[in-house]
Structure 1
Amino acid sequence: MNRFARSVCGAVAAAGLALGATACSEAVDTVDKAVNDTYEVTYEVTGDNVDSISYHDGGGKALEPSVTTVDKPELPWTKTVTLRGIMPSGVIPAAADLTGAKVTCKITHKGKVLAEESGEGLMTAGGCIGESPVGSEQ
């Protein structure tokens, strides 16, 4: 390979690395911004015979959110919290009376329902989990 061809190949390789670094840098900036962005959700639980409600309260890490539990809540129950980045929203009502409890949970963000579930009895296996809207909002 002659000297000219090596120079051209070197310039093309350098340009490719620069473009790749720019794209990578933009991706890192997007992730950093998303992690620091916040969003507000409102949890709602209706029904009867609910013994406790656990919900993501905005603390902790994005994929390991801290959970607060309210014992013997008065229904209907609502709570608005601020979450961060890709942290999912989550509310889990629990009822020990498997025959008499009818429960609905809902998570809303800016008027849009992120998750809604209804059930009877113990809902600890599911509840409502909503995906973070950060990054999907424009």
Structure 2
Amino acid sequence: MKRSIRTAVRAVTAAGVVAGLAFGLTACSEAVDQVDKVVDEKYEVTYEVTGKNVDSIQYHGGGGEAMNPKIETVDRPTLPWTKTVTLRGIMPAAVMPVAADLTGTEVTCRITHKGKVLKEETGEGLATAGGCIAESPVGG
């Protein structure tokens, strides 16, 4: 009798594990589908750089992979400088002014999305301190 009960308990437990795995795989599949939708969604940002003595500006222009974006560069930009780009999914928006000589370098960088400022930084050392980086507004 005890052996029959143990066998029945094992069968029910095994059925529960199989059902749990099936549910887990379905939930995982749905999560992957959601991530795929977010990764494929596009969004537009506008980069702005103002100030003086900026030798170049580097920015994410939309190429490359979401977590390994291609960095584009503008040499000897005329300030104020503005550029609107289309990014996708979880790709962060980023713009970095670069200056070889920081003497008298006062720079502001700004990233906007649909009229809302996502990130803004101002400073003398900003031209070598990383500029502005903003998280993707998609899927948040």
- Does the alignment reach a TM-score above 0.5? yes
Q: 2-side partners of 1:86 and 1:122: how far apart?
A: 25
Q: Are positions 1:68 and 2:72 aligned together?
A: yes
Q: 1-side partners of 2:45 and 2:86: how far apart?
A: 7
Residue 18 of structure 1 aligns to a residue in which SS? helix
Residue 54 of structure 1 aligns to a residue in which SS? strand
Match of 2:124 in 1: 120
* Preserved CA contact (<8 Å) 1:98 1:122: no
Query: Any stretches of 5+ residues in structure 1 without a counterpart?
Result: none
* Preserved CA contact (<8 Å) 1:47 1:101: yes
Q: TM-score under structure 1 normalisation?
A: 0.90
Match of 2:11 in 1: 7
Query: Any stretches of 5+ residues in structure 2 without a counterpart?
Result: none
Larger radius of gyration: 2
Q: 2-side partners of 1:11 and 1:91: how far apart?
A: 54
| CA deviation map 1:79-113 (0-9, x unaligned) | 00001111111100112231211100000111222
Q: CA deviation at 1:10?
A: 2.5
Q: 1-side partners of 2:99 and 2:11: how far apart?
A: 72
* Preserved CA contact (<8 Å) 1:115 1:129: yes
* Preserved CA contact (<8 Å) 2:105 2:127: no
Match of 1:25 in 2: 29
Aligned with 1:38 (options 39, 42, 51): 42
Instruction: Answer 1 or 2: which has greater helix percent.
Output: 2
**Where in structure 1 do 4 or more consecutive aligned residues deviate above 4 Å?**
none
Amino acid at match of 1:99: T
Match of 1:83 in 2: 87
Q: Are positions 1:57 and 2:74 aligned together?
A: no
| CA deviation map 1:7-50 (0-9, x unaligned) | 32232122211211111111111121122111111000111121
Percentage of matched positions with identical amino acids = 70
Aligned residues: 136
Amino acid at match of 2:122: S
